[in-house]
Structure formats: C-alpha cells, structure tokens
Amino acid sequence: MTDFQKVIQESMFWIEGLAALISILSYKQIKNQYWKYFMYFLIFIFLCEAIGKWGDQIMQYNKAAFYNYFVIPVQFIFFYWLYAAKSFENKKLFTVLSLVYLLSFIPSEILFSTNKIMFSVNYTLGCLILMILVVMEYYKQINSSSILDFGKNRMFYINLGVTLFYIGTLPFWTFLTLIREYRGIFNIYFDYFLISGIIMYLLFSISFIWGKQSS
C-alpha cells in the first residue's frame, strides 16, 4: 500500500465515523421516521470498521470471513430494504432480492475457494442487484414532481454515493484476482475505491444535513 493510500484509508475510516456522528446528532428529527435505521446502519458500519482496524490487537479472528459473511451481506440487505421496501414501498421485492443474494452463497461455497479477500461471485451479484435498484431510484427521482427540489431529497445523496462507491468499484472487486497482477491498474482502482468511499460517506452526512424528507 502506498503512503497516499494509507492516508486516504485512514481518512475514510474517520469520515465513516463523522457520518455516524452527524446521523446521531440528527436523531431528534428522524427518531419517528424509518431514517433512524439508516443512523443505526452507519453506526454499525463504523463499529465494524473499528473491529477491522483494531480487532486483531485484542483477539484472533478471520478478517476476510468477518467481512464476507457478516459485514458485506448486512450492507447489501440494508440497502435492498432502503430502496425496495421503503423508497419503492415494495416489501415483496425486498424479500425476493435478499433471498436471491443470500442463496448465491451456496454455489459460491461449493464451486469457489473461500480462501480469498473478497467473495467476488457474491459481491458481483449483490452489486448488480443494487445497480438495478439505483437505476430505478434515478428513474423515480427524474419523474418525480419535486425534481426541482432534489437537494432536499435524502435519497438523492444516498443514491449518488452508492453509485460512486458500490457500482463504481464493481469491476475492481469482480476482477480483483486478475487486477492484482498489474500493480499500476490495481493502484488506480484501489485509489478510486478509497476516494469514492470518502465521497459516499460525505454524501451520507449531507443527506442528514440537507435532506428534509418527512417520512
């Protein structure tokens, strides 16, 4: 890892903490809304990243398994819930998409090695599902009567952040095994991964500051 990447990775960690803090400070405004679960989600992510950062200093654990079997699935399922069940008000869609994603672990366990940093099959499918939801959300926003007030739409910032980070880094994690052989390309993608992560969590923070949705 380059010195620049170390600095950006450290910055990303604390920006995640900042997003969690801003969401906590917004609790009074969102405590009666489903957005309070987004606050819980950001706190959860920051705590998981803290475990990933310092956990091996106090206990022995498999970091790859921690992320692949727990942290990443929770992230995907939460966003499926936020988009499908809440933004689109389609609980059945949320259930179907979540089951499809979770069932993808079965062939992954049988056919592919689990001794890797990222389960590319699961991550690729998870991102593809999320990409469909992102496109649907853009379509919904574009056709909304309040499109001129997009700056007050909390989902606008969240959708943009998810696009830049999850969708933007999809090729990187899907083809990680191949990309790692080419350090120049790997560093470019890894730089983007870290920078887009920072931007995403800043956008999440902005969504609490500027977003004025009442439901």
**pLDDT tens digits, residue range 116-147?**
555 577 889 999 999 999 999 999 999 887 77
pLDDT higher than threshold 50 for residue 46: yes
pLDDT at 107: 78
**pLDDT tens digits, residue range 173-197?**
888 888 888 999 999 999 999 999 9
Tell whether the torsion through CA atoms of 185, 161, 40 and 126 is positive or negative.
negative
pLDDT at 174: 83
pLDDT higher than threshold 90 for residue 64: no
Average pLDDT, the chain: 90
**pLDDT tens digits, residue range 29-42?**
999 999 999 999 99
Structural domain spans, the chain: 3-210
Cα 14 from Cα 148, distance rounded (Å): 33
Which residues have C-beta within 8 Å of that of residue 44, sequence separation ≥ 6?
A: 74
Answer for the pair 167, 133: CB distance below 8 angstroms, yes or no: no
pLDDT at 121: 79
Residues present in the chain in total: 215
Q: Classify residue 147 by its DSSP letter.
A: G
pLDDT tier at 115, thresholds 50, 70, 90: low
pLDDT higher than threshold 50 for residue 215: no
- The residue-averaged pLDDT of 158-177 equals 92
pLDDT higher than threshold 80 for residue 159: yes
pLDDT at 114: 52
Cα 43 from Cα 47, distance rounded (Å): 6
**pLDDT tens digits, residue range 70-79?**
999 999 999 9
